[in-house]
């Protein structure tokens, strides 16, 4: 798919299709008015006859509009002008792209990026349109023997900006949007892969393939033998019941011109399948537990976006690959594990395994003397109960870092919501036999899980993203969402100080 930006009036566009907006009730946008004027009222006459009301997502495809050079004009309902917000904008773009793709318009000039969206500038509108386009056209059919193919798919999309002065901003939005979309695609491809293919070694192989393309990225791995020498006993215990070896993959990106810049560390929980272990999960929807590596998929996707943008920053991405299976060698409820940090943990439930993997990784990354650490994990069903599928749970005791991540979520549309991390919740992890348990009970489950992790992240600024509700969709449209790649990438863009769009009006 090819994307570009230009600035020009609609009557001068010679394309397979021009896309313009119509507001409710039957009110032409500024661009649509220009087309109506040169077509001598052709469009407004159609609206008066009731062909299009302008409700959000309504579509009317016109052929051979008088005096218009383009073959087709697609009128897109945008709702009430003053109510057009970012959510509705993305829905409109999605419906527009699907319509173009289904009607054989192989190229189009889109003027929807000139619509006024509350609090959003040209950079955001162009980038969001590109990312939404790529997301809506995504499909995972690599394992299908019969692939559904669109006869004349959309291949080229031009986003129009109001003035030539904004072309630079638009081009930057294209560059960033392409990189983030590329990262999201990798995230989704890896996460959607079945667990008989995507195991911890597969995660490592995907990272190595990325390093072969980008010189700024180096990859190394730590297997079970080296983990044992490092005394990562908690991590090892979780994978003990699986035939597939646990593998921790370390991706080091060096983009800073200063050799002594401390790295930002991103850690992704990579449970390539989580059966629950001895504390076996219910059978219903257990197939979706292949998505328990959504955190690792998010990190590898973010690292790809980072490499493609060539951000001037140092970042280390860790894929904590593991598989949690029941067997005669599996760890059990009642076991007491000595973590890499030396702290001991009483296992109450083997299905609270992600924190047992992450705690050793949080200790391991101390050796990098990091600027900060962010872990991302499909950690708790409790977070899904609390926030549903729209917001990731954010936990951090460091206010500046929490605010940076929240802001990146708002900027990218990949939002998070800050949850408490108070000392009172720590009491729920007390054990009569060890330093702590791995389970704090049903009440506040996502919070006590984060409290558990916080005990291993004392030596640096740290934040935890629980993406259990946002990393994938269930049901008919089951599949990875590509989150939290937009949030994490936006966070890195901000950290790198890279210029983006003009200030929002």
So which residues are the catalytic ones? 281, 355
DSSP class per residue in 55-84: -TT-EEEEES-TT-SSSEEEEEE---GGG-
Instruction: Please list, in sequence order, all residues whose beta carbon lies within 8 angstroms of the beta carbon of residue 431, skipping any fewer than 6 positions away.
Output: 345, 346, 437
In the three-class reduction of DSSP (H, G, I as helix; E, B as strand; rest coil), residue 262 is classed as: coil
Q: Which tokens is 55 given?
A: 């409700």
| Residue 482, phi-psi category: left (phi > 0), alpha (psi -120 to 50), beta (remainder) | left
Q: Which tokens is 385 given?
A: 């109960």
Alpha-carbon distances of 386 from 227, 380, 391, 428, 451, rounded to whole Å: 35, 10, 10, 18, 16
351 is in an annotated binding site: yes
369 is in an annotated binding site: no
CA distance 378 to 360: 17
Q: Which tokens is 412 given?
A: 């990218």
Alpha helices in 148-275 (DSSP H): 167-192, 200-213, 224-229, 233-239
The answer to whether 278 and 330 have CB atoms below 8 angstroms apart is: yes
458 is in an annotated binding site: no
- 344-346 vs 336-338, strand pairing mode: antiparallel
Which residues line the annotated binding site for Mn(2+)?
A: 269, 274, 292, 351, 353
Annotated binding-site residues read: 269, 274, 292, 351, 353
């Amino acid at each position: 798919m090819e994307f570009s930006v230009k600035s020009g009036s609609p009557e001068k566009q010679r394309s397979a299709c021009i896309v313009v907006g119509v507001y409710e009730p039957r009110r032409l946008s500024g661009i649509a008015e220009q087309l109506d004027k040169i077509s001598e009222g052709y469009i407004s006459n159609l609206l008066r006859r009731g062909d299009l009301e302008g409700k959000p997502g309504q579509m009317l495809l016109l052929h051979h509009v008088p005096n218009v050079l383009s073959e087709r004009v697609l009128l897109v309902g945008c709702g009430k002008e003053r109510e057009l917000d970012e959510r509705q904008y993305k829905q409109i773009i999605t419906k527009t792209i699907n319509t173009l793709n289904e009607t054989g318009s192989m190229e189009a000039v889109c003027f929807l990026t000139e619509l006024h969206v509350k609090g959003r500038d040209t950079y955001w509108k162009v980038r969001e349109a590109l990312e939404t386009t790529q997301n809506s056209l995504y499909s995972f059919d690599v394992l299908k023997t019969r692939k559904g193919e669109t006869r004349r798919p959309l291949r080229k999309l031009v986003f129009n900006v109001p003035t030539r002065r904004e072309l630079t901003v638009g081009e930057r939005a294209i560059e960033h949007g392409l990189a983030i979309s590329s990262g999201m695609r990798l995230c989704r491809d890896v996460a959607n892969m079945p667990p008989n293919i995507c195991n911890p070694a597969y995660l490592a192989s995907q990272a190595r393939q990325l390093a072969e393309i980008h010189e700024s990225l180096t990859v190394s791995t730590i297997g079970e033998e080296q983990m044992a020498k490092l005394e990562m006993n908690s991590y090892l215990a979780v994978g003990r019941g699986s035939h597939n070896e646990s593998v921790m993959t370390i991706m080091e990106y060096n983009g800073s011109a200063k050799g002594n810049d401390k790295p930002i560390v991103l850690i992704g929980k990579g449970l390539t399948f989580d059966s629950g272990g001895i504390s076996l999960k219910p059978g219903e929807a257990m197939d979706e537990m292949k998505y328990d590596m959504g955190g690792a998929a998010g990190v590898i996707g973010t690292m790809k976006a980072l490499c493609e943008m060539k951000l001037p920053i140092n970042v280390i991405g860790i894929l904590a690959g593991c598989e949690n299976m029941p067997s005669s060698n599996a760890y059990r409820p009642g076991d007491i594990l000595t973590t890499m940090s030396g702290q001991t943990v009483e296992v109450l439930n083997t299905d609270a395994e992600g924190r047992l993997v992450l705690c050793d990784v949080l200790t391991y990354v101390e050796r990098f003397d990091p600027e900060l650490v962010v872990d991302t994990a499909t950690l708790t069903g409790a977070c899904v109960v609390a926030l549903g599928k729209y917001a990731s749970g954010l936990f951090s005791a460091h206010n500046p870092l929490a605010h940076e991540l929240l802001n990146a979520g708002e900027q990218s549309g990949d939002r998070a919501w800050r949850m408490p991390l108070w000392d009172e919740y720590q009491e729920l992890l007390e054990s009569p036999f060890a330093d702590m348990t791995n389970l704090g009970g049903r009440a506040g489950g996502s919070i006590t899980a984060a409290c558990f992790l916080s005990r291993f992240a004392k030596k640096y600024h740290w934040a935890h993203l629980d993406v259990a509700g946002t990393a994938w969709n269930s049901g008919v449209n089951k599949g990875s969402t590509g989150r939290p790649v937009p949030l994490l990438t936006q966070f890195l863009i901000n950290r790198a100080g890279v210029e983006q769009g003009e200030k929002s009006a």
